[in-house]
Structures are given as C-alpha cells and as structure tokens.
Structure 1
C-alpha cells in the first residue's frame, strides 16, 4: 500500500522540538521525505499499524497533528513534480 504521511508538531517548547525530531526519525524509517513534513511510504498493512503506533506514542495529541492518506497503488509513480522535486526510489530498500 502507499501512504502519504504529513505532520504538524508544535515546536514552541523544547519538548515539542524533541517530538518533531522523533516524528521525523520515525517517518524516515518507513518512507521517503518529499517535503519538510511530508513522507511517501510504501508498506504492508502490518507495517502501517507499526508506523501509526510509533507515531501515536510519540506525539502530544493536544498540540500535534498527523494525517495519513491511503493512496491507490501506483500513485507515487504517476505523481507530477514541479520545481526542485526528486523522485524517490519507492521500490528500493530504505537501507542501502
């Protein structure tokens, strides 16, 4: 499955800045960063549950927001990019 993960983490406090770094680190373990707070993730249903659990455990739901969009298979390869965008290798492993 393909997911688009976006987040907005409050960074006014030092705790919020730490949460932001943790959220970004979690997302980097599952997908490709395509914008500052946007990741494209190709995963299984089990991996999606693991990702959501890790994110839910990290954020402060009173101040932070994460949106996960389930996309049709092949959406990433048909996406149009304008500007300095790159096309991440979604079918390649994250660790090289």
Structure 2
C-alpha cells in the first residue's frame, strides 16, 4: 500500500524536540522524506500497523499530530513536482 505521512510535533519544549526527531527517524526507517515533515511510504499491512504503533508510542496525543493517508497504488509515480523536489524510487530498495 502507498501511504502519505505528515506530522506536526509541538517543539516548544526539549521533550517536543526529542519527539520530533523520533518521529522523523521512525518515518525515515520505512519511507522517503519528500518535504520536512512529509514522507511517502510503500509498505504492507503489517508494516503499517507496526509504524502506527511506534508513532503512537512516540507522540504526545494532546500536542502532536500525525496524519496517514492511504493512496491508490502508483499515486507517487503520478505526482507532479514543482520547484526543488526529490524523485525517490518507491518500489526499489530503501537504504537507511
């Protein structure tokens, strides 16, 4: 499945800054960063459930927000890029 993950972590405290780094590192471990707080992920159902569980462990649900959009298969290949953009190989190996 193709997922678009966006997040907004409250970084006004040192704890929030730590959570931001942990969310980013977790997403980097499974997908491609396409903007500062936006990742494109190709995964299976088990990987998605593990990702969601890990993100729930990290975030402060009262102050942080993570949105996960399930996209149609192949949606990333149809994305139009304007300006300085990355063009990751979503179906190839992910090197962390």
CA drift at 1:25: 0.1
Q: For the residues of structure 1 that align with 2:95 and 2:82, how far apart are their CA atoms?
A: 27
Q: What is the aligned partner in structure 2 of residue 15 from structure 1?
A: 15
CA drift at 1:95: 2.0
Q: Once superposed, which parts of structure 1, at least 4 consecutive aligned residues long, lie more than 4 Å away?
A: none
Q: What is the aligned partner in structure 2 of residue 73 from structure 1?
A: 73
**Pairs aligned (count):** 96
Q: What is the aligned partner in structure 1 of residue 32 from structure 2?
A: 32
CA drift at 1:92: 1.3
TM-score scaled to structure 1, two decimals?
Answer: 0.98
Q: What is the aligned partner in structure 2 of residue 90 from structure 1?
A: 90
TM-score scaled to structure 2, two decimals?
Answer: 0.98
CA drift at 1:45: 0.5
Q: For the residues of structure 1 that align with 2:30 and 2:60, how far apart are their CA atoms?
A: 21
Q: For the residues of structure 1 that align with 2:15 and 2:86, how far apart are their CA atoms?
A: 32
> Where do 5+ consecutive residues of structure 2 fail to align?
none
CA drift at 1:94: 1.2
Q: RMSD of aligned C-alpha atoms?
A: 0.8
CA drift at 1:59: 0.2
Secondary structure in 1 matching 2:6: strand
